[in-house]
Chains A and B, each alone.
Chain A
Amino acid sequence: MQGNNERLKAEITMALHEVKDPEIPSVSVVELGMLHDIVINVQNIHIKMLPTFVGCPALDIISRDIKKAITEKIAWVQEVDITFVFDESWTTERISEEGRQKLKEYGIAPPPLKYKESDPWHVDCPYCGSTYTTMENIFGPAACRSILYCRSCKNPFEAMKPVSSL
């Protein structure tokens, strides 16, 4: 039975790979590390998600998209409940290697690894890989992103703002 449960969870996780962040459409919510837990009760499932930034306006859209993806792709599911929980804090460390790669392809530099509060940032240009970059504005077009500039290839770019649990 345990093995069966794991198989069903894997099936759901697979479907969640289709749900993208509306503000970064190349990366799925799973790759972003937003999936916290899946609880299966026969035909009803409860998906617990971790919000990235708490005031992120995309959360409602993500919730709607998850519901749609599960309803369309998984026939045995009758009811989907989606909640955003705070038992654990989302951090940028939760973004998977695949997710980091896809952010880069989209022109967003992934956050520095093992970031601690007050560490200096070292963000490489997602286009040319140069380390010769400057911070233009820590606050960018979305709560999770900052605006930087590459002095080598002269491109402005965005970077995922590092957040660590304190």
Chain B
Amino acid sequence: MIVKSAEELQQLPEYKEVLLDLLLQLGDDDFILSFRGSEWLGLCPHIEEDVAYSSITQNTMGHATMYYKLIEEIGEGSADELAHARTEGQRKNAIILEEANGEGSYLDEPKYDWAFAVVRNYLYEVAKKIRLDSLKQSSYVPLANVARSVSREQYYHIKHWEIWFKQLLTSTPEARGKMETQIERIWKDFGGVLSLGPNADKMKDLQLIAGEKELSEKWLAMIESAFEEVGLQLPTSNPGLEAGNGREGTHTEHLTTALATLSEVYNMDRAAAW
């Protein structure tokens, strides 16, 4: 089945419902991770990294906007509302992506963890690439088109984090130790990124995206070859879901505070024209 436009969805209520779930997952993952990226501005290890990370963050926020606009086209809310006005329970991002960058806040003594940023971003960008490669063949043509545009930019993001990832793991014992600690920590919840939620099988049947198992295996294969290059063993267990599955609307305090911060101005006057 091929669905060429939002208009055709009116006759396909079930397809539309599953598509909406997928679009929210894709948009929410990029949205919250780019918010976390924006909090790093001015705090990166050096100034060129500030330029690079903020550029990646800007692109990633643009990707979230694209998915929200696809939702807008199918008549399920506006991009602004989707970004700002939904409650935690309505968000579908993976829990590991909402987690704070570290102790403190950027306003007052941020003690952010660079190893956490590098590992989280690298593992996520690999998962994102694998999803995008599959989405380019999605039965929903507007989504396949967006995936192609996003891919062109994402190529640079994955390269960037790959360099940090490999270099820190092959530098000093201190750097390697910090990286290993973060890999172990993130692994426990990374299953949330690889999950497609309760509608996973339907997404596959409707050919919106490949199956969860296939995508996870591809992710693991790419991660394994990166680990091999730096002499790391893959953890013995599969990536977990320790804090729960964000695809089902389960979230943590980290998301609550993030939403309060990022929507602060929006909530002062929801009807204001910008």
Contacts and interface: CB of A to CB of B under 8 A. Distances in A.
Interface of A: 51, 53-57, 86-87, 89-91, 117, 136-141, 143, 147, 161, 163-166
Given A86-B142, A89-B149, A55 B156 contact: no
A57, A91, A166, most chain B CB atoms within 10 A: A166
A140 B15 CA distance: 41
B132 to A, nearest CB: 9
B61 interface: yes
Interface residues of B, number: 28
Interface stretch (B19-27, B48-56, B78-86): B48-56
A134 to B, nearest CB: 13
Contacts, number: 72
A164 B148 CA distance: 10
Given A86-B145, A139-B51, A55 B61 contact: yes
Interface string B65-77: 1100000000000
Contacts of A161: 156
A62 to B, nearest CB: 14
The 3 A-B pairs at the shortest CB distance, nearest first, are namely A55-B62, A139-B52, A139-B55
Interface in B39-58: 48, 51-53, 55-56, 58
Chain B binding site: helix, strand, loop or mixed by DSSP? helix
B59 interface: yes
B58 A55 contact: yes
Contact of B52 (A55, A57, A137): A137
B152 A139 contact: no
Contacts of B65: 54-55
B148 A139 contact: no
Contacts of A54: 59, 62-63, 65-66, 146, 149-150, 153
B148 A53 contact: no
A91 B155 CA distance: 14
Nearest to B65: A55
A143 B59 contact: yes
A118 to B, nearest CB: 9
A20 B151 CA distance: 26
Contact of B63 (A55, A136, A137, A141): A55
9 contacts: A53-B153, A54-B146, A54-B149, A55-B65, A56-B62, A87-B145, A138-B156, A143-B55, A161-B156
Contacts of B53: 139
